[in-house]
């Protein structure tokens, strides 16, 4: 499903976690959310699952405004939080069955068997999770997120703390889910290589504001990769003096208009073609 935020602001006391965020995420895309610590990424996820509401602005999934919807919209969203814990004495199958029942899902046994297979835990399904490695725990978290067969899958720092093999295994599962389903997948990560591997589109947030958004290949064109692009955008080289997003571009921050190379990140949005040829900042 298509996701759209329009001029979304969310504050916590004196802290503005999201500051007029307008962002469009196409249906079926695998979309990376990047930013510095405290940029507002997790806040956006909480708004998308309806755990919190914006102070102003709207968050829409498909045609539905999340804050105005009932629980049915939440059933369309699967969420893997940054820290997902499970009762140590339960088996993986029990964790999933309890989660499915709490969410009011039908065909519990079939769903549980299906997601266990998807994440490669069918052989460990009846072991208590206290014996699970970090990687197995993350895959179990992903399985809980996949239980409702979601239209939108939110992954918050999904591979933080995993060893390289665990990361690779997790990435393969996400790629498989992306290919096999129509789900729109949002990956919030500090691991730029992860976003480069998994995502076709990217948004960069800082202090609750959108600094850049677009197709990964276009955003990184003319740079050595996402790391260089990210640095150019976040250090302020990619932002105009009045704080407007330079690379977000397009109607409603669609991310369809963005700089074609790294040097473009350093120009204000109203730079003329002549300016561009001369490299005028």
Ligand X SMILES: Nc1ncnc2c1ncn2[C@@H]1O[C@H](COP(=O)(O)OP(=O)(O)OP(=O)(O)O)[C@@H](O)[C@H]1O
Q: Which of residues 93-122 bind ligand X (CB under 6 A)?
A: none
The residues near 59 (Cβ < 8 Å, ≥ 6 apart) are 3, 4, 5, 8, 47, 48, 65, 66, 67
> Quick one: 21 or 95, whose CB is closer to ligand X?
21
Q: How far is the CB of 138 from ligand X (least distance, A)?
A: 16
Among 43, 206, 223, 229, binds ligand X (CB under 6 A): 43
47 binds ligand X (CB under 6 A): no
Residue 150: helix, strand or coil by DSSP? coil
Cβ distance 119 to 150 under 8 Å? no
The whole-angstrom distance between residue 24's C-alpha and the CA centroid of its chain comes to 12
> Of residues 40, 50, 135, 238, which one binds ligand X by CB under 6 A?
40
Q: Contact between 155 and ligand X (CB under 6 A)? A: no
CB 234 within 8 Å of CB 204: yes
Nearer to ligand X, 153 or 204 (CB): 204
Q: Which is nearer to ligand X, 82 or 200 (CB)?
A: 82
Element (H, E) at 135: helix 134-146
**Which tokens belong to 265?**
């990140």
Query: Contact between 269 and ligand X (CB under 6 A)?
Result: no
Q: Which is nearer to ligand X, 75 or 82 (CB)?
A: 82
Q: Does 148 contact ligand X by CB under 6 A?
A: no
Q: Does 12 bind ligand X (CB under 6 A)?
A: yes
Is residue 54 near ligand X by the rule CB under 6 A? no
Q: Where are the beta strands (DSSP E) in the chain?
A: 3-12, 15-25, 30-35, 56-61, 64-65, 77-80, 152-156, 184-188, 201-206, 209-215
Tokens of 26: 């196409």
Interface with ligand X in residues 13-32 (CB under 6 A) = 15, 17
Of positions 4, 8, 41, 220, contacts ligand X by CB under 6 A = 41
Residues of this chain that interact with ligand X (CB under 6 A) are 12, 15, 17, 35, 37-43
């Amino acid at each position: 499903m298509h996701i759209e935020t329009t001029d979304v602001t969310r504050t916590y006391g004196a802290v503005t976690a999201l500051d007029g965020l307008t962002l469009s995420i196409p249906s079926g895309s695998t979309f990376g959310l990047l930013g510095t610590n405290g940029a507002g990424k997790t806040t956006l996820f909480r708004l998308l699952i309806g755990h919190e509401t914006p102070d102003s602005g709207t968050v829409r999934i498909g045609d539905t405004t999340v804050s105005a919807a009932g629980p049915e919209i939440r059933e369309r969203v699967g969420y893997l939080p940054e820290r997902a814990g499970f009762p140590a004495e339960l088996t993986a199958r029990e964790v999933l069955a309890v989660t499915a029942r709490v969410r009011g899902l039908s065909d519990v046994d079939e769903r549980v068997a299906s997601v266990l297979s998807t994440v490669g835990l069918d052989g460990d399904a009846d072991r208590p999770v206290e014996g699970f490695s970090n990687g197995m725990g993350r895959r179990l978290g992903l399985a809980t997120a996949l239980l409702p067969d979601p239209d939108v899958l939110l992954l918050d720092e999904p591979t933080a703390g995993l060893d390289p093999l665990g990361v690779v295994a997790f990435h393969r599962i996400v790629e498989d889910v992306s290919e096999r389903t129509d789900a729109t997948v949002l990956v919030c990560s500090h691991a730029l290589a992860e976003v480069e591997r998994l995502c076709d589109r990217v948004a960069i947030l800082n202090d609750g504001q959108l600094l850049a958004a677009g197709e990964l290949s276009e955003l990184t064109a003319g740079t050595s990769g996402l790391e260089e692009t990210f640095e150019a955008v976040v250090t302020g080289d990619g932002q105009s003096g009045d704080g407007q997003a330079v690379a977000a571009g397009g109607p409603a921050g669609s991310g369809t208009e963005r700089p074609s190379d790294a040097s473009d990140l350093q120009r204000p949005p109203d730079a003329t073609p002549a300016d561009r040829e001369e490299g005028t900042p």
